[in-house]
Structure 1
Amino acid sequence: MNQDTTSRRRLLGKRAAAVILAGTSLLVAGSALAQGQMRGDGADNSGSDKFKAESEPGFFAKSFDYVKHNSYFRIGVLHLQYYGTSSPLRVENAQGLAAQAFGPGKSEIAHTGSSTGNTTTLGGTYGLYLPLTGHHLAMEVTLAPPLKLDFEVSKNAIDESLSPTTKNGIPTGVPPLGRSIGTLKTLPPNFTIVYRPWVDTIIQPYIGVGAMYLYTYDTDVSNTVLNAYGNEPTLNLTKPVACVGQLGADFQLPNNMFITADVKYVGCATVEAKVNNIVVNSPTLSPTVGPIDVGTVSSSNDFKAVLYQFSFGMHF
């Protein structure tokens, strides 16, 4: 009984091992066949497909190649001309005698305003033709070195005292501010989408629309009247996004070179300007009562400017 049982167990074990080995062989063969069919039936084809996959450029390589052969750059003279308007200057948080002169809370000073100066600098533009548009549409970004602009008052604020007398008619002797209040730096990148109706002519006019970020930084109040007590007043400006309208024309030259005349209108934005911590000297009153704490002077500027650019460019 024991020998028969042992023999049967050995026979069953051998049969089971054979079945498992056969099944494993079938699975391996089936898997290999399936993979071969997915690659194109056969080892030779799989090697060919592998070669094609390795030789075909990838997404980034194709993108780099497109940019390399469908972009342009131009650099030249850029002039910013400011045409914006401003609300009257507003005095806020005046204290002591200043409150008597300007009144409590907010008060406007008639026939006054603020603006920024004009400047000329270098400007560069990078353009990329959009795919599937036959070079009729392009995306452009224009950059310039940091621009240092004057922040100025306008109208009566230039040559008339903002507070000639108190409400009781007592002369203050506070002098006019003059034109310049201080300086600011700006780095206004602008992006536009440009349409060229003709791309095979010597003269190629275009029109564009886009946006500009009115980014300002490194402000400084240098006006002597506002700095009479060394109180370090500060200039703060909001940083809105403005709309851009663009007109221009490329004049084609040999060897993929060209010259461009370009005009951009920048608008549709309001910049809030505030000069804080203003303390002024009243020659007739300060010897008795000390400095006059004006507080904050602000204005709302309807930003409008035109960028004129004349530049030399090259197609890549």
Structure 2
Amino acid sequence: MRTHKILALAAVSAAIVASPAYAEKGDVLVRVRAIVVSPTERSSAVTPGFPGSKLGVSDAVMPEIDFTYMATKHIGAELILATTEHKIEGRGTLSGVPKIAKTWVLPPTLTLQYHFLPDTKIRPYVGAGVNYTIFYASKADSDLVRAVGPTNVHLSNSFGYVLQAGTDIDITKKVFLNLDIKYVGLKTNARLNTGGAINTARVDIDPLIFGIGLGFKL
């Protein structure tokens, strides 16, 4: 009897090990996440007009969608699409101007992922890739306009690297929970033109992006 139990357990274990991967070569996975973009910024002074000043960048919460193409059951390529709005804040000697500007950010991102346990219900992965960030609709805030007058704001676009880690957790055969975190190397040069008086600052935004959402196997 004991031998039969051992054989039955071995058969179940073999079936689990031999079960097909959740995603095979050629499959496409779609994830819809809510993300929190949290800059870990560092800033130079806004010069030459504001020595001792710094610029900060606010957090943002937005939806995100991404598409993953599985080249094998272990290797996937993920394209991430989202756009977020951020406030640029005055700090240091500019702390009396709490809001400098507003800007929208479009950061298309491509990562190459390795999925560790494709045959299990909990599937962790890591990834690395590239990001190109486009700043658009940048506009001086009323706080800055009241302090120094009408100002044109320009933020340079950025090309950088991305590091990623996350996990997929089965809910059904085609739906899964996704948890994800990314670090993006993102830098920009801010240019403030107030009636021909030019002030500039370099800001290393370098955000952490925390995501949670649902994924679907197409």
Per the alignment, residue 189 of structure 2 pairs with 272
Q: Per-residue deviation at 1:147?
A: 1.9
Q: Per-residue deviation at 1:272?
A: 0.6
Match of 1:117 among 43, 55, 58: 58
Whether 1:304 and 2:206 are equivalent positions in the alignment is: yes
Matches within 5 A, 1:1-316: 70-91=27-48, 109-110=51-52, 112-130=53-71, 133=72, 135-144=73-82, 146-159=83-96, 178-227=97-146, 232-267=150-185, 269-278=186-195, 295-316=197-218
Q: Deviations over 1:166-198 (max 9, x none)?
A: xxxxxxxxxxxx210121111111110000121
Distance 2:92 2:147 in 1: 23
| Structure possessing the higher relative contact order (Cα contacts under 8 Å, 6 or more residues apart) | 2
Distance 2:64 2:187 in 1: 24
Distance 2:193 2:130 in 1: 30
Q: Report percent identity of matched pairs.
A: 21
- Cα gap change, 1:273/1:225 in structure 2, threshold over 3 Å: closer, same or farther? closer
Distance 2:144 2:209 in 1: 33
Q: Per-residue deviation at 1:204?
A: 0.7
Q: Secondary structure at the match of 1:308?
A: strand
Query: Contact conserved, 2:100 with 2:144, CA < 8 A, in 1?
Result: no
Q: Per-residue deviation at 1:154?
A: 1.5
Query: Contact conserved, 1:227 with 1:233, CA < 8 A, in 2?
Result: no
CA RMSD, aligned part only?
2.0
- Cα gap change, 1:74/1:225 in structure 2, threshold over 3 Å: closer, same or farther? closer
Query: Contact conserved, 2:99 with 2:143, CA < 8 A, in 1?
Result: no
Letter of the 1:274 partner, please give it: R
Q: Secondary structure at the match of 2:181?
A: strand
Q: Secondary structure at the match of 1:200?
A: coil
Q: Deviations over 1:15-64 (max 9, x none)?
A: xxxxxxxxxxxxxxxxxxxxxxxxxxxxxxxxxxxxxxxxxxxxxxxxxx
Q: Per-residue deviation at 1:232?
A: 3.1
Q: Deviations over 1:128-165 (max 9, x none)?
A: 001xx3x1000001112x32211222223113xxxxxx
Q: Per-residue deviation at 1:225?
A: 4.7
Q: Deviations over 1:90-144 (max 9, x none)?
A: 12xxxxxxxxxx6xxxxx602x1112211101111110001xx3x1000001112
Number of paired residues?
195
Q: Per-residue deviation at 1:298?
A: 1.2
- Cα gap change, 1:237/1:225 in structure 2, threshold over 3 Å: closer, same or farther? closer
Distance 1:220 1:227 in 2: 14
* Structure 1 stretches of at least 4 aligned residues deviating more than 2 Å after TM superposition: 222-229
- Cα gap change, 1:84/1:273 in structure 2, threshold over 3 Å: closer, same or farther? same
Q: What is the TM-score when the length of structure 2 is the normalising length?
A: 0.83
Higher fraction of strand: 2
- Cα gap change, 1:300/1:127 in structure 2, threshold over 3 Å: closer, same or farther? same
Q: Per-residue deviation at 1:227?
A: 4.6
Unpaired runs of 5+ residues, structure 2, are 1-23
Q: What is the TM-score when the length of structure 1 is the normalising length?
A: 0.58
Of structures 1 and 2, the larger Rg is shown by 1
Q: Per-residue deviation at 1:314?
A: 1.0
Unpaired runs of 5+ residues, structure 1, are 1-65, 92-101, 103-107, 160-177, 279-292
- Cα gap change, 1:253/1:228 in structure 2, threshold over 3 Å: closer, same or farther? closer
Distance 1:214 1:116 in 2: 15
- Cα gap change, 1:241/1:158 in structure 2, threshold over 3 Å: closer, same or farther? same
Distance 1:198 1:219 in 2: 43
Distance 1:234 1:124 in 2: 32
